[in-house]
Amino acid sequence: MSGNHFVEQPVDPPRSTAEAGSGYFYDPSFDHPDAEQSLWQAPPAATARARRTPPPGLPSYYSYLWTIALLDSKQEQFYFRRLNFLKHRVAQWTSRLQRDSDNASLVEQIEAAERDIDECRHVLIESNLRLVVSLAKRYADPSMEGFEELVSVGNTALVRAVDLFDFRRGFRFSTYVYRSVQRCLQGHLRQEKRFRTRFVDDGDGITEHLVGDAAQSDRALQAADDARRSARRALQSLSDRDRKIVMARFGIDGDAKRQSYAKIGKEIGLSTTRVVQLFHRSMSTLRDAMS
């Protein structure tokens, strides 16, 4: 973690359902006077564990994942509490900018918190990558055909799991990830099997593409396509200016790196604080549209 400490600023009281549409899970301890200090202490020391070696037959470029330390239950809780606390603070500070648009120090704190959010997510994702690889190897055929695709599907499920995991319930994240990735891989393989069986040589050539209503067995694949279309529609629903801000902030506007609020503001002729406001307003709009 970068260890950026924030200057304590008055914040708004939490909503009773803070996680609804906000992208984080609220815990009352976040508003305790000592929350800042406790969450910026060093993470709990790792429990001693035996050294593990990669499964046999794994491509060599995945072997490095077995050098990454796994998180124990206390470490998982620490990082998820910190992650959601940071998201909570960003939401509060952004709300405050609506009333105090010239607070440059608040913008700096938001950017520092967002960097630390990224680092928290990185720790949680990286420590579970080998679990994804192990599951992908289990479900790949003996020739390892399709292995890379399964890893990609599993990694997508892992990234999503970080934002969907409710740390307040006290369960292990690694267990949640295992089940989430497993369901995702099994669903992917069922879809692949259905696709292959729908286009087989029946002696008279390739069977015609099924027309009409989708069968129940194809609903999952159709739902995934619908979700992608919904995401594109949601992004297109933003104004050109707001869409440019969102894309630049996530580094998907042709620049591989996410841009700072100040740089975006300079390019489009807006103040930094105004860019922060528009970005978070747009993210709220996108979450509402997708839900």
In CATH, what number is assigned to the domain containing residue 116?
A: 1.20.120.1810
Q: Where are the alpha helices (DSSP H) in the chain?
A: 35-39, 73-97, 104-126, 129-139, 147-164, 173-198, 219-236, 240-249, 261-268, 272-290
- Check whether 16 has a pLDDT greater than 80: no
Residues 169 and 39 in one domain: yes
Q: With 60 as the cut, is the pLDDT of residue 117 above it?
A: yes
Residues 5, 11: Cα–Cα separation, whole Å = 16
Let me know if residue 228 belongs to a domain.
no
- 68 within domain boundaries: yes
pLDDT at 254 (0 to 100) = 63
pLDDT at 142: 65
Residue 209 counted as domain residue: no
The predicted-structure confidence for 184-228, as pLDDT tens digits, reads as follows 999 888 877 775 565 444 444 333 433 333 443 454 455 555 656
Tell me the CA end-to-end span of the chain in Å, nearest whole number: 31
Query: Does residue 36 lie in a domain region?
Result: yes
Q: For the chain, what is the domain count?
A: 2
Per-residue pLDDT averaged across 152-174, rounded? 92
**Res. 28 pLDDT band, cuts 50 70 90:** very high
Q: Which domain holds residue 282?
A: 238-291
Our measurement of the distance from residue 16's CA atom to the centroid of its chain's CA atoms, rounded to an integer in Å, reads 24
CATH number at residue 260: 1.10.10.10
pLDDT of residue 18: 39
Judge whether 159 lies within some domain. Answer: yes
Same-domain check for residues 34 and 171:
yes
Task: Check residue 61 and report its DSSP letter.
Answer: G
Q: Same structural domain for residues 153 and 246? A: no
Residue with more model confidence, 219 or 266: 266
Q: What residue type is assigned to position 100 of the chain?
A: D
Q: Count the neighbouring beta carbons within 10 Å of the beta carbon of residue 118.
A: 13
Identify the pLDDT of residue 72: 92
Do 174 and 291 share a structural domain?
Answer: no
> Do 174 and 254 lie in a common domain?
no
- pLDDT at 61 > cutoff 60: yes
- List the one residue out of 87, 72, 73 whose CA is nearest residue 27: 87
Q: Whose structure tokens read 């700096």? A: 108
What is the average pLDDT score of the chain? Answer: 77
DSSP string, 5-30: PPPP---PPPPTTTTTTTSS---GGG
* Residue at 93 is within a domain: yes
Same-domain pairing of 124 and 265: no
Is the pLDDT reported for residue 153 higher than 60?
yes
Q: Is the pLDDT of residue 112 over 80?
A: yes
* pLDDT interval class at 273 (50, 70, 90): confident
Per-residue pLDDT tens digits for 125-142: 999 999 999 999 888 876
212 within some domain? no
Which of 70-79, 83-92, 163-172, 211-220 shows the lowest mean pLDDT across its residues?
A: 211-220
* pTM for the structure as a whole: 0.69
Count of beta carbons in the 10 Å neighbourhood of residue 115:
15
* 252 in the same domain as 174: no
Residue 84 corresponds to which tokens in the numbers above? 């959601």
> What confidence score (pLDDT) does residue 22 get?
61
Shared domain for 149 and 259, answered yes or no, is no
More confident residue, 108 or 260: 108
Q: Which residues have C-beta within 8 Å of that of residue 202, sequence separation ≥ 6? A: none
Residue 5's pLDDT is: 43
Q: Fill in the amino acid letter for 244.
A: K
pLDDT at res. 220: 45
